[in-house]
Amino acid sequence: MNDLLLLGQTLRFDADPFATAIEDAAVALTHGGVLVQGGRIAQVGDGAALKAAHPQARVVDHGDHLISSGFVDAHMHYPQTAMIASWGKRLIDWLNTYTFPEEMRFADEEYATDIAGRTLDLALAHGTTTLTSFCTIHPASVRAFFDQAAARGMAVVAGKTCMDRNAPDGLRDTAQSAYDDSKSLLETYHGKARATYAITPRFSPTSTPDQLAAMGALWAEHPEVLMQTHLSEQTDEIAWVRDLFPSARDYLDTYEQFGLLGARGLYGHAIHLEPREIDRLAEVGAAVVHCPTSNTFIGSGLFDMAGVKARGIRTGLATDTGGGSSFSMLRTMAAAYEVAQLRGTALHPAQLMWLATEGSAQALRMGGQIGSLNVGAMADIAVIDLASTPAIAQRARRADDLWEALFPTIMMGDDRAISATYVAGRRV
């Protein structure tokens, strides 16, 4: 008697639309239905047929709204929520002016709890059901994020950010404390509720070789967890890394030589990659994460989506809040489209939706579990109003198919386009 049947247009994927023809990769139904049992997706198909077959199910009819898997944000910084959209120059200036002073406040667990809850609620309001977040050096910041996510039933990825140099007093740990704190938090949270731990050196400039080696050792001891960091975001950052690690072959090598390159690695930004770096990322099965609103906001550069996908590198999509200028994965998809256009590639709406759902889930090694409307996945669902504003509605009325109806919402939509969000089958 706890079955839930959602009716509306449905969109799911059988394959990666970058590698398979759109018509074969995407499955869209105009009058579809999603049956939810025990928090998971039990069936997806014709709405009327599902309703007839399951008369006991509680029915929620979303009309002509689009039922999609919830969005998966593969890289963000919840401690930067309160300072999103802060005027800045380049990455290092922005970190020193805004980010580091704000992150110092997260030694206070009450403050961390407030911001964590605020971030998660903003995500849900925008149809995002999974966040992958950097925390701060403070264990309290990690506890707050995982505990607030558990209270909402959300699947999240997070870890203590580790920094032992090139950061202000009060925002540095040590190689040993980073190892000890990360190990303790990992053992407490990983696999509990819907939490996944990620070993989290911020980036090479803020970690000594000793700390990077300590994080590599911890990952070798716990290869089941993820590892997240930043890679080749800005050209002046790369020059700084070259000065700090003169013996490294390239930026990626500053991780690889310390055991921080692997199939469960997440490398944010990855804009200015060398050929060897691309080869190694592809060889080991690592994932890169595209952060388009951040890359344009801070002036980092234009990510090569076509080139990365052509090499078969797993690729996620992310807001990178608060370097990113929006909590919305719709706005993030729009920025990804614009960046690709500047590089000579027009991403199809199916490819954009896949990146924000299945693609990010696969980057997190959670394909089939989250970010999916297929049978067996958790029922983390976003219901999208394709006529949420007058401007979008007047354009959508002229559409001849789903993609033409969806694209205006991708380009102009925001939280007003999210008519409902479900986490494990519970409307939130």
> Which one-letter amino acid corresponds to residue 5?
L
Would you tell me how many other CB atoms lie within 10 Å of the CB of residue 247? 7
Structure tokens belonging to residue 256: 């690889």
CA triplet 296, 302, 307: central angle to 5 degrees? 150
pLDDT digits (tens, 9 = 90+) for 293-317: 999 988 999 999 999 999 999 999 9
- 418: which strand partners? 384
Would you tell me how many other CB atoms lie within 10 Å of the CB of residue 252? 27
- pTM score, two decimals? 0.97
Taking domain 71-363, whether its CATH number is 3.30.70.600 is answered by: no
pLDDT digits (tens, 9 = 90+) for 212-260: 999 999 999 999 999 999 999 999 999 999 999 999 999 999 999 999 9
Is the per-residue pLDDT at 146 higher than 80? Answer: yes
Q: Where in the chain is the domain with CATH 2.30.40.10?
A: 4-70+372-427
Round to whole Å and give the CA distance between 280 and 261: 9
Instruction: Label residues 307-344 b or e (16+ Cβ within 10 Å = b).
Output: ebbeeebbbbbbbbbbbbbbbbbbbbbbbbbebbeeee
State the DSSP H helix or E strand holding residue 58, giving kind and residue range, or none if neither. strand 58-69
Backbone φ and ψ of 137, nearest 5°: -70, -10
Is the per-residue pLDDT at 269 higher than 90? Answer: yes
Largest Cα–Cα distance of the chain, in whole Å?
A: 68
pLDDT value of residue 427 = 98
State the DSSP H helix or E strand holding residue 350, giving kind and residue range, or none if neither. helix 349-354
Is the per-residue pLDDT at 35 higher than 60? Answer: yes
Task: Provide DSSP, 409-424.
Answer: HHHH--GGGEEEEEET
Round to whole Å and give the CA distance between 281 and 288: 8
pLDDT value of residue 296 = 93
- Which class is domain 4-70+372-427? mainly beta
- Cα separation values, 167 from 103, 136, 222, Å: 11, 12, 27
Higher pLDDT, 93 or 50: 50
Number of H helices, E strands in the chain: 18, 16
Round to whole Å and give the CA distance between 100 and 397: 47
Q: Where in the chain is the domain with CATH 3.20.20.140?
A: 71-363
pLDDT value of residue 90 = 66
Is the per-residue pLDDT at 160 higher than 70? Answer: yes
Contact 83, 28 (CB under 8 A): no
